[in-house]
Copies of this chain bind each other. A is one copy, B any other.
Amino acid sequence: MGEFDLIARYFKRPVRRAALGGGDDCALLQASPGCQIAISCDMLVQGRHFFADADPFKLGHKALAVNLSDLAACGSRPLAFLLALALPTADETWLAPFSRGLLALADAHECELIGGDTTQGPLNICITVLGEVPLAGARSTALLRAGARAGDELFVSGTLGDARLALMASRGLTLPPGLLAKAKQRLDAPTPRVALGLALRGLATAAIDISDGLLGDLAHVLEASAVGACLDTSVAATLMACSSAELDAAVDAETRLECVLGGGDDYELLFTAPPAARGAVEQAALASATRVTRIGQIQAEPGLRLFDARGAPVTARYRSFDHFT
């Protein structure tokens, strides 16, 4: 199977939104009048982001999901994506389920595959996704990291920490099979919060997707917005998808908090909104069928302060993920 057969067999779809789809030197995309194009790019590397034995269907899903999550964090509607794929061999038993997982998620979000590149090499999946964000007059309606203001409330979507628990298991932590399966599901098949991101346009003052861990990504928001925050660790401790009973039997409270706060690979949204918008935030959560939890507050004083259920400071430090340290 050659390069062009490979593309035709596993990745060719009818052209939908693009003015010109893959197969020429460039794809052509027509932006709607009064819109900006939002663009993001994520690369997944074998051995770093996934293991050699990763289920290719789930990997196809995840490779696009992590990119859609970036669009969600900007409140952008997905338009199209490009797939660059380095493969050791053109293995059909891998390509068929990979393309099914990838294109199922693409179809669910009406996000069109418009081009890319395929080459021989160590397995590497690089996706660039494009979305649109309406302009309100000359002003962008995109959700950005900058924009959080003192007094704003701090929210997260969905559940946090389970992906990290699955990673700990892969590094030696022993977990009961049922718990491990649930945690791995969160690691392997994250849900990009596109509908919530769209519902938060004009409502959230700042937003980011949690890919490197709650504390690390919150730090990006605080830095970009030049503010500080306090965060209730007793609420954070309730955020894992795996049930309390299962977790209590397997890991201590400190490990759970490390999973939620240090985390990584969650692909939930972290966002801020003024207290007056709390009802509207609840409506956005309902409308997008997405759980949203208030976990803290933005403060004028720089830095992040963790406190427990009794309001006492928590001093433990949790590192977020950095690829080169």
Residues of A within 8 A of B (CB): 1-4, 6, 19-20, 23-31, 33, 35-43, 45-49, 69-71, 73-74, 76, 80, 82-87, 89-90, 114-122, 124, 126, 128, 130-131, 133, 135, 140, 142, 144-145, 207-209, 224, 322-325
Q: How far is A124 from B122 in the complex, measured between Cα atoms in Å?
A: 9
- B142 A41 Cβ-Cβ under 8 A: no
A39: B residues at CB distance < 8 A: 26-29, 80, 82, 114-115, 128, 130
Q: Are A29 and B20 in contact (CB under 8 A)?
A: no
CA of A25 to CA of B211, assembled, Å: 10
> How many Å lie between the Cα of A108 and that of B254 in the bound state?
53
Shortest Cβ distance from A32 into B: residue: B31
A144 partner residues in chain B, CB cutoff 8 A: 20, 24
By the criterion CB–CB under 8 Å, are A19 and B119 in contact?
no
- Selected from B23, B24, B38, B224, the residue in CB contact (under 8 A) with A27 is B38
Closest chain B residue to A72 by CB distance? Answer: B25
Q: Within the complex, what minimum Cβ distance (angstroms) separates A47 from chain B?
A: 7
Q: A80–B40 Cα gap in the complex (Å)?
A: 12
Task: Given A20-B144, A37-B31, decide whether A2 and B325 contact each other with a Cβ distance below 8 A.
Answer: yes
- Copies of this chain: 2
Q: A20-B142, A120-B45, A121-B48 are contacts. A323–B3 as well, Cβ < 8 Å?
A: yes
Contact A30 B36 (CB under 8 A): yes
How many Å from the CB of A168 to the closest CB on chain B?
19
The answer to whether A122 and B122 have CB atoms under 8 Å apart is: yes
Point out the residues of chain B lying under 8 angstroms from A114, CB to CB: 39
Residues of B within 8 A of A3 (CB): 322-325
Listed by A's residue number, 6 A-B pairs whose Cβ atoms lie within 8 Å are A25-B40, A26-B74, A28-B36, A39-B115, A89-B324, A117-B126
Contact A25:B322 (CB < 8 A) given known A31-B31, A43-B124, A121-B47: no
Q: Among A27, A35, A87, which residue has the most Cβ atoms of chain B within 10 A?
A: A27
A71 to B27, CA, bound (A): 10
Whether A43 pairs with B325 at a CB distance below 8 angstroms is no
Chain B residues near A47 (CB, 8 Å)? 121
Which of B24, B87, B117, B224 contacts A74 (CB under 8 A)?
A: B24
Which residues from B are CB-within-8-Å of A29? 36-39
Q: Which of A19, A126, A131, A325 has the most CB of B within 10 A?
A: A126
**Which residues from chain B contact A74 at a C-beta distance below 8 Å?**
24-26, 28
- A76–B43 contact, CB under 8 A? no
Additional pairs, 7, CB under 8 Å, beyond known A23-B224, A28-B142: A2-B325, A23-B145, A25-B69, A29-B39, A43-B86, A119-B323, A122-B122
Whether the Cβ atoms of B45 and A86 lie closer than 8 Å is yes
Complex CA distance for A131 and B39, rounded to whole angstroms: 13
State the Cβ distance, A222 to closest chain B Cβ, in Å: 14
Known: A26-B142, A82-B128. A117 touches B324 (CB 8 A): no
Question: How far is A26 from B87 in the complex, measured between Cα atoms in Å?
Answer: 27
* A119 B48 Cβ-Cβ under 8 A: yes
* Chain B residues positioned under 8 Å from A76 (CB to CB): 26
